[in-house]
Structures are given as structure tokens and as C-alpha cells.
Structure 1
């Protein structure tokens, strides 16, 4: 590798691309990937790049390839990503995605995987690489840094195996990479600018995930320390202003006016299988009022949600919204269960966790419907501290319990 002090993020990603697209006979074996979760939000995308960069730049200098966990076409659904990549000297086209995996295929045993911002393989990673039917997962999962609940799938032999509560997984990545970052020389203008670019990439997701460090429910001392550390790496010439940077990213993230319903539902989406049932949760940055009036009608939204659930093979489709009408932070939740078994699970979830979540009928229940084998309910969620990170495990636990009945 080139001297670490002189490798920009763009140069690093170009090296990773060449390694990934090399002919089979010339391909490094095994290839080591760093991958975020399927929602592919700022936290997952940026954490994978920064972690892979520093893991590569430090001994033993094994190339770590950051892989964005989405098809390349889906990058266009994330205009906020460009606002974070630009001051880091990058464009979305510089990122490596699932679409860039070799067309000749990769054998599981020729890969190694470092998970960031999740700790249980899903999607392509689960079905083609780390499934017990294809290869021993313990040989392939080499490390994990995550701020979700430990699901027990990461082998004890993996290193690091880091789990901690914080607003953004990037804060954990910075903590892990702090020594490596400090060890990079900054004696030249070029080296200082590279460090400044790294800092912009790191700060974007932390500021978004903690509401500019203002969210008392999400912000932890670790997030605050991470922001202070990264901001100290920004060059004076960068003209950085924390609030202005946060406002720019937020404005782009919340603008979904150009997206159709399918794009809205898949932009920030996660899918799980538990207890023989399939759950999908879409996180949306506008409320149901916006979705059923500004984006279209109530009937159109529900028809597209049903179509999306069918496309994804869901037994339970959930939509969680976050919005700030009149400047007030608001959460909403909709659950649509398909099939008698799924309806029982959804009802049990509400019975067990509804009070903790502060669920109240949305607009008098105008979106609710109970029909043969289906149950759809929409709520205001007064428990503001409970994001998908908390609600998904609740639903999944109800699915596991339902399978025992």
C-alpha cells in the first residue's frame, strides 16, 4: 500500500475497486469486506467506508473493501449522501455496492466479512455467503462493531466484537480507529486535508442520528467525544460549521417529494425472518399525513404498501415515521398483518409492548381496518425514544413467541 498519510479516501476506494474487479486468477484470496446493514442509511454507508479505510491503513495492512449493502441504482434515493461525500472528496459513484460484486461469482470460502451497524447477516450476505448451508459462518465473520442488541451470531473468536449503546455506530467506529487516526502524520497540507475529509465523512451520520447532539434519548457521551475528536481533525480552510452542515444534510434527507411510494418504502428498509414469519419495516422521514395527502392519497398509499408487502413476501409490514410538524418531534407506527397467524402475533405485540411505546390511535383510527385474515392499525407513538432499533426486536420477539404456540 501507499504510505497511509498520503492515501485519500478516493484513492483508497479506487484500490478497493481494482481488487474487487480483478480477473479471478489475479484476485486476492480471500477478499475481506466491511459491510453495513440493509437499510444502507448514512450511518451504515459511511461507517463501512471509514472503518475499512483505517483497517487497511494499519498493520498488517490487509485490504478491507467497504461494500454498500444495496444495489447501485438505490444510491439515487439518498441525496443526503452526496452532501456528506462531497467534503470528503468523494462522489456516490466512488462507492462499491452489491452491483459491483464480480459477475463470475465469489465462493463463500474466498471471502471474509466484518459487520458494522448490524450483527446478524441478512439478505445477500446471509443467503449467499454466511448461511450454514454454504459455509461455516464462524470462519467468515471476522469482526463486528455495532450499537444494536447482540443477537449472538458473531463468533466469540471474532475481533473486534464490539457492542455498545450510542446514537450512531460511527461513534464506535471512531473510538475503534482513534489511535490509528492519531498516528497518521499531519505535517503537510495534503495530509491535513485528507484528515479533514475523513472527519467530514465521520461527522455526517453522527450529527444526523443524534439530531445535532440535541436528542436526549439518543446522544451519549461516546457520541459527544466522537464529534469533538473528529471536529478537531478539520482544517481551518474547510470552513466547517456544525449547524450548517447538519441543516444541509437534514434538508436533503427529509425531501422525499421526488420519490414514488415504492421508493419511499424501500429507501430505509429492513427485513427479518423469525418464527416462520417475515417482517419488513420501512422508516420514513415524513408522517402519514404527508404520505396520504402531499405524496398522493390514502388509497394510493395503502395500495402501494400492500403491493410492496407482496413483492417482499411479508407476513407483517410495518411503517415507522419520524417528522417534525410545527417543529415538534413526532413518531408514528403502522402495522399491517397478513394471515391469521400474523394477526395473532401483531395483536400480541400491541398487548405486550403497546403501553411502553405509548401507542394511541392515529386520527381516530381512520387508517385502521380488520378484514378476513388481515389487520391494519396506525398509531401515534408517544414513546419517542423507541426507534426501529427498539421496535424491531419487540416485533421479532412476538414472532418467535408466536411460533411456540
Structure 2
């Protein structure tokens, strides 16, 4: 709950009434009070958040396949038989990933995952905090099968200027963008992709 709401901070637009109700219940527990006292009156939530964020972000020991399947969701969208869309959320920067594995190995891993999951479209959403400036960043990548909707990336970039604000970074066969709107997570990105695909399937 802490991670999903980004420590219950309103500016991220993720806090729902049910989250606040759950937080109030947790804060009424003796163990929560004890943790707050240990912190010397500091925000106990922030301490938990720091620990959880550090653990979640440590993916240095995971290979590309494990990164792609660690936080993964899949849907069938569009009319008729539909298209199988998979989205992997990865707490790792594209730059570090490419430096670690190389462009060819990364592309190979993405293609292997697409084949394993029988996907028509695969999207990777990276989210990370820079070590030097401690600023939060998001990136989006798109891979479509040969013979698939090759114009999807162009339409995605064009039609989401206001909602996602994508800045292109071309890496081999996988299309990458720097996502300037860091508030848009998978919850916001999936409906946008779904609508674009459904619109294309009706044309």
C-alpha cells in the first residue's frame, strides 16, 4: 500500500479513500505506535517507505527474463480474436540495462519473452530514481511482432503528448521513450494503449 500510493502523498494522484481508511486502521495498532516511538517522533511511514523502496529497487541480481516477469500483466484487447498485450513494470533504467546486457542481448530477451507469452505487443515501463540527483524518472518501450501494427508507436507518441509526454529514444528494434509525465504508471498507460489498439482494429 505504501509503494502503490507513494507514501500516501497526494501530489502523485494515487491515494484513494480506501487507502486512507486502511492507513487509519494500521495506525491504531500497537505495533505501529511502537515503531513511531522508536523513530523518536519521526514519520514512521517514511522509514518503512525508504526500506521498501530500497529492497524493491535492488534488482541487480535479476536477469532480463526475471526483470520482465517480476511485475507483469497481460490482456487480450481489440475486436475479433484480439491482440495479446503484455506490460512489464521494471524498477531499472534503460541506460543501466543496456550497459549491463548490451542492446543485442536485451532485444534477444524481449523477443524471447514475447515468444514465450505469445504476445502481439509488449510494453516495458521502467521507473527509477537517479543516484546523484534523487529525481524520479519513467521510460516506456514498445515491441511489436514483425507484420504487426508497426504504426502503433508513432500513434502512441502523437496521441499521448498531453497525457504521457513521450520523448523518443531509438534502440535497435525496440522503441524507447523518455516519459516526461512521471505520474502516469501502468494504471494510466494500459487504458491508453487499449484504446489505441481497439481504435486501430476497427479501422
Q: TM-score range, shorter-chain basis?
A: 0.7 to 0.9
**Correspondence 1:344 to 2:163:** no
Deviations 1:113-149 (A, max 9, x none): xxxxxxxxxxxxxxxxxxxxxxxxxxxxxxxxxxxxx
Distance 1:386 1:290, change over 3 A: same
Deviation at 1:298, TM superposition (A): 2.2
2:105 to 270, 294, 300: 300
Q: CA deviation at 1:283?
A: 0.2
2:122 is paired with a residue whose SS is strand
What are the superposed Cα offsets for residues 81-119 of structure 1, whole Å, 9 maximum, x if unpaired? xxxxxxxxxxxxxxxxxxxxxxxxxxxxxxxxxxxxxxx
Q: Which runs of 5+ in 1 are unaligned?
A: 1-205, 370-375
Judging by fraction of residues, say which structure has more helix: 1
Offset from partner CA, 1:307-339 (integer Å, 9 cap, x none): 111111111111001101131010100011113
- Give the aligned partner of residue 359 of structure 1: 166
CA drift of 1:341 comes to: 3.7
- Looking at structure 2, the residues matched to 242 and 236 of structure 1 have their Cα atoms a distance apart, in angstroms, of 9
Deviation sequence 1:43-84 (CA, Å, 0-9, x none)? xxxxxxxxxxxxxxxxxxxxxxxxxxxxxxxxxxxxxxxxxx
8 Å CA contact 1:319, 1:335 repeated in 2: yes
Match of 1:245 in 2: 48
Aligned pair in 2 of structure 1 residues 234, 246: CA closer, same or farther (>3 Å)? farther
Pick the aligned partner of 1:383 from 181, 184, 193: 181
Question: 8 Å contact 2:166–2:178 — kept in the other structure?
Answer: yes
Retained in 2: the 8 A contact 1:368–1:378? Answer: no
The secondary structure found in structure 2 opposite 1:319 is strand
- Secondary structure, aligned partner of 1:239: helix
Q: Which of 301, 323, 333 is the equivalent residue of 2:140?
A: 333
Larger relative contact order (Cα-Cα within 8 Å, sequence gap ≥ 6):
2
Please state whether the residue corresponding to 1:292 is helix, strand or coil. helix
Larger Rg, first or second structure (1 or 2): 1
TM-score, with length taken from structure 2 = 0.84
In the TM superposition, residue 384 of structure 1 has moved relative to its aligned partner by 1.4
CA distance in 2, matches of 1:243, 1:216: 16
The aligned counterpart of 1:208 is 3
Q: Contact 1:315–1:339 at 8 Å: present in 2 too? A: no
Confirm whether residue 309 of structure 1 aligns to residue 144 of structure 2: no
* 2:39 corresponds to: none
Change (3 A) 1:248 1:314: same
